[in-house]
């Protein structure tokens, strides 16, 4: 392993690694445009110039392999002057339209110019005109003038999405990034080119002109779009309701996780956040009329206490069915198991029919629920448990007297008339969910609950990795977290649970469900933790 | 498709307006050229097959005179790369033509050494003599005048490449004679060290 010295500090770096990587392990950041750890090395932007002793010319850090005894200076006068010259060239034909550019504030041209720029520019010539605001695909807008031709997007479509739409056409100062005539950038990962574009050449059509990036807050979480569980950062605004029609979330960006999604995420997850701000249930409703949480909890608990009692009229026991959801967190599913299955003896399931979605062998999985695996581990989808269709059938046959549906829309299973009939025949019909749907309209109690970004909890992805979803902001309007509602009901039922937070529920879960043993929120951290070995993953049947 | 309700997509989609909008006539290699292509490809390791794109494009240009979208499609399919990657190459190199050219293609180098030695004046003279601006072909189809990037003969600047032959140290005053020579003597008027080297082989 070669030993080299970077800025006076020694480091052993593996054979074949490059100076930029070695510097990064020392915490020394070398500026870069074309270099991206997830892509092949192009070496064309030249901003990562470094001084290597005994070498007459400056070298590019991204493509200089480490060598034993190498002495590198990353921020010497000579290196900084080299970068200044590179920036002068890069900006020769750059339009400098930062005031109207979406990238402004997170633009590496701006950032590095602050460090190395020639503050008194010498360029007096005419700039080359190219095309601006070209919609290259459903999600991406291209501005050829802002482009510095780093070719990250070209390499992304070649190497990661493997669709090869982008190319660099023409030559010299007329060179431009573009698509082959008649083609469009319409692959399932197209949004990533916006993330990797170091300048404002590729911007997000969905986010375009909605907010300046410095107004955005960011919260780390996990995409709930499918069973892959890509790590993401959610960018949102709470204190500027005039932006984005008052919607809180403005965009979702992938967050690096070597074991799950690396630097990438799919477009479906990236642009599928609209439901969190639109079409939400905001008020507790009883038979369609407004009610309070106190009334709801009291009313529902009163009915629940009768579960298991003998109905004097019919001579049978009152029975409860619960359709939980693999959209819920482990903590909530655990509470559902403890309260409904164990304490009340209800028929509980978390297997809800969902048409298999599109999938590939990269990040997109056919199972569009984030926590199917978790529900299986907690025992709500195993072979002995009924599925949602069975529970609805039993309800329609009159075998169940009370039904609680978490989020699922029953009209996917039964006709509208049947849902009406079911609603009339049940003693108790609770719907709790984030968004309004026909099932909520037919239920006796419709409870607005928090979206996954509004609560703490954990999901288990398809590879058996437990990941925390952070709470980005409080629940919208009157909605409450499912775990809070469930704990309140457990309290009323005198079940003796001492837990007060998702973290405490998780501790109980870890004690009770073997694959979670030894895990804590702290150990899961920002990047998740593997539950168990691959062999034991195979044992758990995941639908 | 668009996931965003407000994002009308198809209506606002702008097509790229580079050349090649015209697909051109249907293109496949002639059997002889196909055999030649197969022989060329064998020179490259299988994982470097994409490097065969340059000779493959030359073959296409020899066969048809210029490169069309259909030719790009054919070459991309044979070499195993995307059409964007082929066009990448076609648009970079000035020796690939995307329009029909005349019998003689006059390529005046406009890169640094030639430019400093008066290549611009040579272009002007040629342009005046033939009666077309750079980038065009004269109505008779005899001459195409192009300004191109470095031809690799900086020591003998300015240089004009006529088809495959270099004409070096061309002074503005030589331009008219060059055109006349080509008109009267045709191929025989081609000179330059490129030909000399080829003959020595």
Give the span between the Cα atoms of A145 and A199, in whole angstroms: 11
Does residue B192 register a pLDDT over 80? no
Confidence grade of residue B200 (pLDDT, cut at 50, 70, 90): low
CA–CA distance from A533 to each of A153, A511, A536 (Å)? 36, 19, 5
Percent of chain A clearing pLDDT 90 (strictly above) = 69
Confidence grade of residue A69 (pLDDT, cut at 50, 70, 90): very high
pLDDT tens readout for residues B87-114: 999 989 888 998 889 999 999 999 999 9
Confidence grade of residue A541 (pLDDT, cut at 50, 70, 90): very low
Stated as kind and residue range, the H or E segment containing B177 is helix B174-185
Same fold, A3-90 and A285-451+478-498: no
CA–CA distance from B164 to each of A96, A361, B142, B190, B194 (Å)? 42, 49, 15, 9, 7
C-alpha closest to that of A169 among B129, B125, B80, B96: B96
Strand order of the sheet with strand A134-135? Answer: A134-135, A140-142, A202-204
Residues 102-141 of A with CB under 8 A from B: 131, 134-135, 138-139
Confidence grade of residue A537 (pLDDT, cut at 50, 70, 90): very low
The average confidence (pLDDT) of chain A is 91
Stated as kind and residue range, the H or E segment containing A231 is strand A231-236
Chain A environment of B18 (Cβ under 8 Å): 169, 178, 181
CA–CA distance from A58 to each of A107, A198, B138 (Å)? 25, 23, 48
Q: To which residue do tokens 């915490």 refer?
A: A27
Chain A environment of B5 (Cβ under 8 Å): 274
Give the span between the Cα atoms of A304 and A493, in whole angstroms: 8
Model pLDDT, residue B21: 53
Give the span between the Cα atoms of B151 and B139, in whole angstroms: 27
Chain A environment of B91 (Cβ under 8 Å): 169-171
Q: How many CA atoms lie within 13 A of A53 on its CB side?
A: 12
φ, ψ at B109 (rounded to 5°): -70, 135
Q: Confirm or reject contact between B136 and chain A (CB < 8 A).
A: no
Q: Confirm or reject contact between A188 and chain B (CB < 8 A).
A: no
Contact criterion met (CB < 8 Å) for A138 and B87: no
Can you read off the two tokens belonging to residue A380?
């709500």
Model pLDDT, residue B4: 46
Q: What is the dihedral of CA A468, A470, A476, A478, to 10 degrees?
A: 60
Query: Nearest-CA distance from A357 to chain B in Å?
Result: 15
| Cβ(A464)–Cβ(A519) below 8 Å | no
Give the span between the Cα atoms of A539 and A464, in whole angstroms: 11
Does the domain at residues A285-451+478-498 carry the CATH identifier 3.40.50.740? yes
Q: Confirm or reject contact between B11 and chain A (CB < 8 A).
A: no
Q: What is the CATH code for B104-189? A: 3.40.30.10
* DSSP string covering B83-109: HHHHHHHHHH-TTS-SS---SEEEEEE
- Three-state SS at A102: coil
Model pLDDT, residue B198: 52
Confidence grade of residue A125 (pLDDT, cut at 50, 70, 90): confident
Q: Confirm or reject contact between B87 and chain A (CB < 8 A).
A: yes
Model pLDDT, residue B14: 44
Minimum Cα–Cα distance from B19: chain A residue: A181
Average pLDDT over residues A142-171: 93
Q: Could you tell me the residue ranges of all domains in chain A?
A: 3-90, 285-451+478-498
Contact criterion met (CB < 8 Å) for B87 and A268: no
Q: DSSP code of A267?
A: H
Chain A environment of B14 (Cβ under 8 Å): 131, 134-135
Percent of chain A clearing pLDDT 70 (strictly above) = 97
Closest partner residue to A169 among B69, B82, B91, by Cβ? B91
Does residue B2 register a pLDDT over 70? no
Model pLDDT, residue A359: 87
| Cβ(A375)–Cβ(A406) below 8 Å | no
Residue B188: CB atoms within 10 A of its CB come to: 9
| Cβ(A91)–Cβ(A145) below 8 Å | no
Query: Nearest-CA distance from B189 to chain A in Å?
Result: 31
Contact criterion met (CB < 8 Å) for B87 and A139: no
C-alpha closest to that of A329 among A280, A272, A275, A374: A374
Q: Could you tell me the residue ranges of all domains in chain B?
A: 31-92, 104-189
| Cβ(B106)–Cβ(B160) below 8 Å | yes
- Respond yes or no on whether the N-terminal peptide bond of residue A511 is cis (omega within 30° of 0): no
* DSSP string covering A46-83: -TTEEEETT-SS-EEGGG-B--TT-EEESS-HHHHHHH
Q: What is the CATH code for A3-90? A: 3.10.20.740
Can you read off the two tokens belonging to residue A407?
């989020």
| Cβ(B106)–Cβ(B146) below 8 Å | yes
Burial of A518 (0-12, 13-18, 19+ CB in 10 A): exposed
Percent of chain B clearing pLDDT 90 (strictly above) = 54
Can you read off the two tokens belonging to residue A340?
């409904």
| Cβ(B18)–Cβ(B69) below 8 Å | no
Q: To which residue do tokens 């210029």 refer?
A: B66
Q: State pTM to two decimals.
A: 0.87
C-alpha closest to that of A365 among A441, A247, A463: A463
Model pLDDT, residue A174: 87
Burial of B78 (0-12, 13-18, 19+ CB in 10 A): buried
The residues, ordered by sequence, that sit 6+ positions from B179 with a Cβ below 8 Å of its Cβ are: B126, B129, B130, B143
Does residue B120 register a pLDDT over 70? yes
| Cβ(A197)–Cβ(A336) below 8 Å | no
Residues 56-85 of B with CB under 8 A from A: 69, 81-85
Burial of B12 (0-12, 13-18, 19+ CB in 10 A): exposed
Minimum Cα–Cα distance from B6: chain A residue: A206
Does the domain at residues B31-92 carry the CATH identifier 1.10.10.1590? yes
| Maximum CA extent, chain B | 69
Q: Which residues of A444-476 are buried (b: 16+ CB within 10 A; e: fewer)?
A: bbbbbbbbbbbbbbbbbbbbbbbbbbbbbbebb
Which residues, in sequence order, are bridge partners of residue A432? Answer: A406, A447
Model pLDDT, residue A152: 96
Contact criterion met (CB < 8 Å) for B92 and A170: yes
Query: Nearest-CA distance from A143 to chain B in Å?
Result: 12
Does residue A207 register a pLDDT over 50? yes
Q: What is the dihedral of CA A70, A75, A78, A80, to 10 degrees?
A: 140
Can you read off the two tokens belonging to residue B81?
């790369």
Residue A8: CB atoms within 10 A of its CB come to: 8
pLDDT tens readout for residues A265-299: 999 999 999 999 999 999 999 998 999 999 999 99
Q: To which residue do tokens 């009768």 refer?
A: A306
Contact criterion met (CB < 8 Å) for A171 and B7: no
Average pLDDT over residues B8-33: 65
Chain length of chain B = 201
pLDDT tens readout for residues A323-373: 999 999 999 999 999 999 888 888 888 888 887 788 888 999 998 999 999
Q: What is the dihedral of CA B82, B86, B91, B93, to 10 degrees?
A: 150
- Three-state SS at A390: helix
The residues, ordered by sequence, that sit 6+ positions from A534 with a Cβ below 8 Å of its Cβ are: A464
Q: How many CA atoms lie within 13 A of A212 on its CB side?
A: 7
Q: To which residue do tokens 């899961």 refer?
A: A524
Give the span between the Cα atoms of A439 and A451, in whole angstroms: 18
Does residue B5 register a pLDDT over 50? no
Chain length of chain A = 543
B88, B90, B110: which to substitute to probe chain A, counting the most A Cβ within 10 Å?
B88
Helices and strands counted in chain B (H then E)? 8, 4
User: Long-range contacts of range A436-440, CB-CB < 8 Å, 24 or more positions apart?
Assistant: A436/A279, A436/A280, A436/A281, A437/A409, A437/A411, A438/A409, A438/A410, A438/A411, A439/A405, A439/A408, A439/A409, A439/A410, A439/A411, A440/A281, A440/A285
pLDDT tens readout for residues B61-82: 999 999 998 999 999 999 999 8
CA–CA distance from A295 to each of A321, A339, A447 (Å)? 22, 20, 11
| Cβ(A141)–Cβ(A208) below 8 Å | yes
| Cβ(A419)–Cβ(A382) below 8 Å | no
Contact criterion met (CB < 8 Å) for B16 and A179: yes
| Strand A289-290, strand A529-530: pairing | unpaired
């Amino acid at each position: 392993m070669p030993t080299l010295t970077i800025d006076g500090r020694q480091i052993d770096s593996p054979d074949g690694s490059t100076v930029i990587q070695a510097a990064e392990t020392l915490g020394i950041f070398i500026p870069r445009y074309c270099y991206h750890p997830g892509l092949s090395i192009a070496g064309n932007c030249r901003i990562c110039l470094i001084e290597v002793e005994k070498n007459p010319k400056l070298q590019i850090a991204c493509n200089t392999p480490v060598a034993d005894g190498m002495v590198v200076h990353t921020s010497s006068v000579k290196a900084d002057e080299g970068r200044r010259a590179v920036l002068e060239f890069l900006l020769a034909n750059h339009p400098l339209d930062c005031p109207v550019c979406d990238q402004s504030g997170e633009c590496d041209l701006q950032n590095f110019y602050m460090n190395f720029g020639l503050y008194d520019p010498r360029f007096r010539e005419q700039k080359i005109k190219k095309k601006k605001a070209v919609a290259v695909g459903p999600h991406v807008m291209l501005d050829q003038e802002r482009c510095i031709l780093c070719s990250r997007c070209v390499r992304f479509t070649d190497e990661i999405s493997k669709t090869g739409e982008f190319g660099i056409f023409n030559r010299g100062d007329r060179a431009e990034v573009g698509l082959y005539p008649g083609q469009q950038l319409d692959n399932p990962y197209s949004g990533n080119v916006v993330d990797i574009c170091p300048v404002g050449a590729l911007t997000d059509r969905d986010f375009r002109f909605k907010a300046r990036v410095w107004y955005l807050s960011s919260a780390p979480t996990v995409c709930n779009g499918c069973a892959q569980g890509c790590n993401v950062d959610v960018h949102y605004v709470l204190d500027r309701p005039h932006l984005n029609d008052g919607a809180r979330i403005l965009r979702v960006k992938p967050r690096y996780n070597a074991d799950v999604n690396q630097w990438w995420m799919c477009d479906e997850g990236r642009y599928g956040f609209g439901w969190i701000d639109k079409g939400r249930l905001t008020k507790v409703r009883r038979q369609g009329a407004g009610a309070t949480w106190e009334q709801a909890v009291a009313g529902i608990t009163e009915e629940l206490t009768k579960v298991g009692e003998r109905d004097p009229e019919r001579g049978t026991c009152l029975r409860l069915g619960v359709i939980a959801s693999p959209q819920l967190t482990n903590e909530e599913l655990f509470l559902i198991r403890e309260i409904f299955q164990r304490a009340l003896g209800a028929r509980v399931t978390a297997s809800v029919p969902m048409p298999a979605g599109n999938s590939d062998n990269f990040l997109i999985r056919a199972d569009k629920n984030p926590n199917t695996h978790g529900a299986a581990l907690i025992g709500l989808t195993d072979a002995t448990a009924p599925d949602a269709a069975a529970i609805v059938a039993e309800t329609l046959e009159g075998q169940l007297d009370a039904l609680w549906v978490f989020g699922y829309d029953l009209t996917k299973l039964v006709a509208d008339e049947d849902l009406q009939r079911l609603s009339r025949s049940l003693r108790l019909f609770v719907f709790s969910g984030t968004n309004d749907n026909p099932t909520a309209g037919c239920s006796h109690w419709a409870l607005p609950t928090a979206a996954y970004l509004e609560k703490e909890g954990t999901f288990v992805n398809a590879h058996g990795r437990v990941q925390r979803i952070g709470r980005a902001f409080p629940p919208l309007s009157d909605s409450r977290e499912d775990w809070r509602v469930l704990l309140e009901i457990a309290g009323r039922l005198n079940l003796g649970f001492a837990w007060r937070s998702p973290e405490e529920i998780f501790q109980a879960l870890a004690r009770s469900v073997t694959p979670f043993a030894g895990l804590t929120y702290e150990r899961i951290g920002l990047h998740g933790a593997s539950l168990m070995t691959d062999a034991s993953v195979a044992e758990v049947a995941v639908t | 498709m668009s996931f965003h309700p407000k994002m009308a997509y198809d209506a606002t989609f702008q097509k790229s307006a580079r050349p090649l909008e015209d697909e051109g006539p249907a293109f496949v290699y002639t059997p002889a050229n196909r055999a030649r292509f197969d022989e060329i490809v064998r020179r490259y390791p299988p994982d470097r097959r994409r490097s065969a794109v340059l000779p493959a494009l030359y073959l296409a240009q020899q066969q048809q005179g210029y490169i069309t979208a259909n030719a790009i499609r054919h070459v991309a399919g044979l070499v195993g790369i995307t059409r964007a990657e082929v066009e990448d190459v076609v648009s970079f190199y000035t020796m690939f033509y995307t329009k029909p050219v005349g019998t003689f293609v006059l390529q005046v180098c406009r890169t640094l050494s030639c430019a400093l030695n008066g290549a611009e004046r040579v272009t002007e003279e040629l342009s005046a003599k033939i009666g077309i601006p750079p980038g065009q072909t004269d109505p008779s189809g005899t001459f195409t005048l192009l300004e191109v990037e470095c031809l690799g003969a900086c020591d003998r600047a300015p240089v004009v490449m006529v088809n495959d032959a270099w004409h070096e140290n061309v002074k503005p005053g030589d331009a008219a004679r060059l055109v006349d020579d080509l008109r009267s003597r045709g191929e025989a008027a081609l000179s330059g060290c490129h030909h000399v080297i080829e003959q020595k082989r």
